[in-house]
Amino acid sequence: MKRKDTLSQKLFHRAEQVIPGGVNSPVRSGRSVGVSPFFVKNARGCRLEDEDGNIFIDYVGSWGPLIAGHAHPEVVEAVRQAATRGTSYGIPCRLEVDMAEKVVSMVPSVESVRMVNSGTEATMSAIRLARGYTGRPKLIKFDGCYHGHSDCLLVKSGSGLATLGIPGSPGVPEEIVAHTLSLPYNDLDAVEEAFRKMGDQIACVIVEPVAGNMGTVPPAPGFLEGLRRLCDAHGVVLIFDEVITGFRLAPGGAQERFGVLPDLTCLGKIIGGGLPVGAYGGRREIMDHIAPGGNVYQAGTLSGNPLAMAAGWTMLNILSRDGVYETLEDSAAYLEAGLRRAAADAGVPVTMNRVGSMGCAFFSPEPVRDFDSALKSNTEAYGIYFREMLARGVYLAPSQFECFFVGLAHDREALDQTIQAAREAFQAVQI
Ligand code: PLP
């Protein structure tokens, strides 16, 4: 089955002349799954159309934000109307207040929230705040968790680096990461040990409450609760990076779903409705340390701009409607069951991890509970699966270490078409 890709190929050749690697973010390149990228011309609902006229059911959703589908009419209209009133003011506007009130009303631990322009900015700023607030230098993160590409967080940081086989990044001096300690995900003993040794130097623990950058890895029972307990005991700021899980796993994200409240929360992706937005928020007592009220500096020319606020606010209102999270759960469970059956019928050992509308099929017979077990997956097999699915009109993440995202626009027809494609694709995989 050969997909027509003449125009995408031509665009990629042009792109390679003027954009590093031909892409504006590395995992888009498709290198690890042996393809060059297709170029999107149009997107609507759960489907993408490329320059060559191929249609794909999309389970990437721009890497998470498009939970209500592409070009959602209400979001499009909100952006259109906002644009006619100006795209950025650099002066406060009403939409920023509406947006902050909405976030505070939805996310249980957030009393005060600052808008930024990406998830990377959110985590970078939250860590500066935690360090400024505690006066301590060190941070703990977990192997395989990605928190954006700021220097101090590029340590064993999951998908992008794992996909391309890059251990860390040149350009990050050792002194910058000297205060970063990366521990195995789901290993509370390791955290306890680190706290025993240097608890009074640790400013914060940052964690993806459900990891989404080594494939999908749920927290083991007690892991998040244990982090909360240890942080309380040692005066350490607990940061949940909910850039993926926020507004996806529940209206209030993973913290609502698992009933564990962090001190600070980082948000991104869905909060922007498809526009570039991030946010960090939490307990007012900590947030009050940010300038201008406090002395921890953080700023942004385009932060809280009306276009992004209009898109995000509309998206959050769509997600506040009755039945939304039940629909997401039903659709994702239906897909998971179909994929499991398809893999089993083809005799392909696959470990399926799923939490709500995010999930991952690891090409590994063993349970995946941390980065080491995720790395045991057969990435060659994933590459075959990816290409076979693409040939059948289904676009999955071009990396074993990413999630599939199910959204409100994935109707039964799309899910059935996906499961049928998977039945055929798994047959082509030999492990
Ligand atoms: N945190 C998590 C959990 C992410 O998955 C990502 C991006 O994928 C980020 C932070 C960084 O967000 P952005 O790409 O918007 O900078």
Euclidean distance between CA atoms 65 and 402, whole angstroms: 14
In three-state secondary structure terms, 390 is helix
Name the E strands within 121-198: 138-142, 180-183
With a 6 A CB cut-off, is 160 part of the ligand 1 pocket? no
Euclidean distance between CA atoms 311 and 329, whole angstroms: 24
- Tell me the whole-structure pTM to 2 decimals: 0.97
Instruction: Tell me whether residue 53 is exposed, middle or buried, using C-beta atoms within 10 angstroms of its C-beta: 0 to 12, 13 to 18, 19 or more.
Output: exposed
Q: Which of 147, 161, 405 to mutate to test the pocket of ligand 1 (most atoms within 8 A of CB)?
A: 147
Q: Which of 243, 270, 277, 371 to mutate to test the pocket of ligand 1 (most atoms within 8 A of CB)?
A: 243
Instruction: Answer for the pair 5, 52: CB distance below 8 angstroms, yes or no.
Output: yes
Of 50, 58, 102, 146, the catalytic one is 146
Residue 269 among the catalytic residues: yes
Q: Which of 246, 239, 245 is nearest to 211 (CA)?
A: 245
With a 6 A CB cut-off, is 265 part of the ligand 1 pocket? no
pLDDT for position 3:
82
Pairing assessment for the beta strands 264-267 and 278-282 based on DSSP bridges: antiparallel
Please identify, by atom number, the ligand 1 atom nearest to the C-alpha of residue 213: 5
Domain locations along the chain: 6-71+322-428, 73-319
Euclidean distance between CA atoms 202 and 130, whole angstroms: 10
Instruction: Answer for the pair 394, 416: CB distance below 8 angstroms, yes or no.
Output: no
Domain 6-71+322-428: CATH architecture, name and number where available:
Alpha-Beta Complex (3.90)
Name the E strands within 60-150: 112-116, 138-142
CA of 132 to the centre of ligand 1 (A): 22
Q: What is the CA radius of gyration of the chain?
A: 21
Residue 241 among the catalytic residues: yes
**Angle made by CA atoms 379, 267, 105, in degrees to the nearest 5:** 140
Residue with tokens 């300038």: 291
Residue 146 among the catalytic residues: yes
With a 6 A CB cut-off, is 123 part of the ligand 1 pocket? yes
Q: What secondary structure letter does DSSP report for 265?
A: E
Amino acid occupying residue 79 = V
Q: How many CB atoms lie within 10 A of CB 19?
A: 11
Is the peptide bond prior to 292 cis by the omega test (within 30 degrees of 0)? yes
- Longest C-alpha distance within the chain, in Å? 61
pLDDT for position 167:
53
Instruction: Answer for the pair 9, 35: CB distance below 8 angstroms, yes or no.
Output: no
The per-residue pLDDT string of the chain (431 residues; one tens digit each, 9 = 90 and over) reads: 678 999 999 999 999 999 999 999 998 999 989 999 999 999 999 999 999 999 999 999 999 999 999 999 999 999 999 999 999 999 999 999 999 999 999 999 999 999 999 999 999 999 999 999 999 999 999 999 999 999 888 887 776 665 555 557 888 888 888 999 999 999 999 999 999 999 999 999 999 999 999 999 999 999 999 999 999 999 999 999 999 999 999 999 999 999 999 999 999 999 999 999 999 999 999 999 999 999 999 999 999 999 999 999 999 999 999 999 999 999 999 999 999 999 999 999 999 999 999 999 999 999 999 999 999 999 999 999 999 999 999 999 999 999 999 999 999 999 999 999 999 999 999 77
Q: Over the range 341-351, which residues count as b (16 or more CB within 10 Å of their CB) and which as e?
A: ebbeebebebb
User: Residue 49 CA to chain centroid, in angstroms?
Assistant: 23
- Asked, colleague to colleague, whether 6-71+322-428 and 73-319 share their fold, the answer is no
Write out the H or E segment, with its range, that includes residue 237: strand 237-241
Instruction: Answer for the pair 49, 24: CB distance below 8 angstroms, yes or no.
Output: no
Euclidean distance between CA atoms 371 and 143, whole angstroms: 6
- The CATH number of the structural domain formed by 73-319 is 3.40.640.10
pLDDT for position 164:
56
What ipTM was predicted for this assembly? 0.99
